[in-house]
Structure 1
């Protein structure tokens, strides 16, 4: 049956069918399809007959969708926090600097111990944006949690820096050993 586009008057038969199908436990949309009437028409008939449709399934489905969206927001917030961590780690890792230029538009590159200051600024900006978006998706429950998180991130950054310096020191030591007579 197709969508009723005509403006045919509601009949006693429509009232009887709505009452009958409602008693069978059918929902408003199913009844509308069955009697080839608009959902609003079925709602009006049901209201006039004092019939109420069970909305618990719709409410449960809505709650489930809301919970699913909350979980997705939380997952995305975690991903953004991890992205921020990876971006800040890159500030202290070896990098390749490069340039295109000259009249022949040549490509030149070299490895450096860590990115130049401008690149570090860009990495920190990107990390800050990721953290900001994460906090908008899932704001901290209270300030104490935020302070704990800041403290943890601070300790993590100190630890990463120490690990980097230790690794850099070992590399320097290996080079010195290789140069000795």
Structure 2
């Protein structure tokens, strides 16, 4: 089978479809050529199929979306832990069905029995632990502020040096007051 020669129509179609944001494979299907031929025609015209900026932007958006979802889920886990903690000292209904006559009996206790309290504590611990793993607490919010201020001061010093040809002068110490003055 002999390959069809490349035409101006092929070149124009590649240029037009590329401008529309079509991928190399989409263009190849549209003009009934191989992807390598499309790449060759695009390269001749200085066109590329580098989508790194779009992929990077899409990845950043996806990461932000996932972070928001993790934060929402961490809040749900915290809510679960708080609801369970409320049960630790709440009146609790205990019931049983049995005996030789298969009777139903129930009793309300002032709070859960120790075994149930242990189970509740386990649920609380698991929910809080998972919540913290999803969205770790910030132990030192001041460190971030100090970092921002430090970056600001460094930027101002760099700007001063660029405009004045050297670092800013050191601040002068105030003169000490004369103790013998009237």
Q: Please, what TM-score do these two structures have when normalized by structure 2?
A: 0.59
Paired residue for 2:6? 12
CA distance in 2, matches of 1:118, 1:64: 46
Distance 2:64 2:55 in 1: 14
In the TM superposition, 1:106-117 aligns within 5 A as 106-117=103-114
Residue correspondence of structure 1 range 124-135 to structure 2 within 5 A: 124-135=121-132
- State the SS of the aligned residue for 2:115: helix
> For this pair of structures, how many residues does the alignment match?
135
Task: Give the alignment of 1:1-181 within 5 angstroms.
Answer: 12-13=6-7, 16=11, 17-22=13-18, 24-28=19-23, 30-36=26-32, 41=36, 44-45=39-40, 48-49=43-44, 50-53=46-49, 55=51, 56-142=53-139, 144=140
Over the aligned positions, Cα root-mean-square deviation in angstroms equals 3.2
SS at match of 2:96: strand
Greater Rg over alpha carbons, structure: 2
The answer (yes or no) to whether the contact 1:92–1:115 under 8 Å persists in 2 is yes
Q: Does the Cα contact within 8 Å between 2:14 and 2:42 map onto a contact in 1?
A: no
Larger helix share, 1 or 2: 1
Q: Are 1:80 and 1:134, in contact at CA under 8 Å, matched by a contact in 2?
A: yes
Gaps of 5+ in 1: 1-7, 146-181
What's the secondary structure of 2:104's corresponding residue?
A: strand
Report SS of the residue matched to 1:114.
coil
**How far has the Cα of 1:126 moved from its partner?**
0.5
Q: Which has the higher contact order (CA 8 A, sep 6+)?
A: 1
Q: Given the two structures, how large is their TM-score scaled by the length of structure 1?
A: 0.59
